Amino acid sequence: MTKTVPDAIAPYFSQLAYVVRDLQAAEAWFEQTLGVPSTFRMENVTFGADCSYRGRPYDAAVHISLGYLGETQIELIQPVRGESIYTEFLEQKGPGLHHLGFDVPDFAASLDALRESGLEVVAQGRMGPGNEFAYLDCEGHGTSLIEILGFDEAMHGFMNQLKQKSAEAARK
């Protein structure tokens, strides 16, 4: 039986992601204003052969910063090279809320449910073995993109460590 979209993703909301022009300034603002400490930063993250953007392979790089506001991950993304869904967003809208993320237990079923509901995949790929992502376009419905994430146990463990580190930093 095919899952409905709410069944496939709603219980698994986990992330708000913002595209920014200046990662350091955005980290400072989120920490000072909302109490979201950056607990993990990755620079020059590239998209490999297992990734596509608008149906074609792409060569782009971003800086990423992760922190937590309670149970919700806050992801800050600064594009630094190449065309991507992030540069497209900055060009069309400027910095701001880019997508809602859902860490789903059944990536394939969730992706099928979203496609069957009429949403178009605009980017997708793998982040190493056992970890997948897909961005779906919801603009026609007046909202941001949706990202679904299919993580393995090791990635879930890493994200839980970041959440704990962020909670400890917020208490200081």
Give me the number of domains the chain comprises.
1
**Residue found under tokens 């992030």:** 86
Quick: pLDDT tens for 71-93: 999 999 999 999 999 999 999 99
Dihedral of the CA atoms 76, 80, 82, 88 (nearest 10)? 40
CA distance 76 to 116: 30
Summarize the confidence of residues 138-149 as an average pLDDT: 89
The whole domain housing 133 covers 5-171
135: CATH: 3.10.180.10
Question: Above 80 in pLDDT, residue 4?
Answer: no
Lowest mean pLDDT among 24-38, 48-62, 78-92: 48-62
Residue 56: closest CA among 86, 23, 85: 85
* Strand residues in 20-150 grouped as ranges (E): 40-46, 52-53, 56-57, 61-69, 72-81, 96-103, 120-126, 132-137, 145-150
Question: Above 90 in pLDDT, residue 62?
Answer: yes
* pTM (two decimals): 0.93
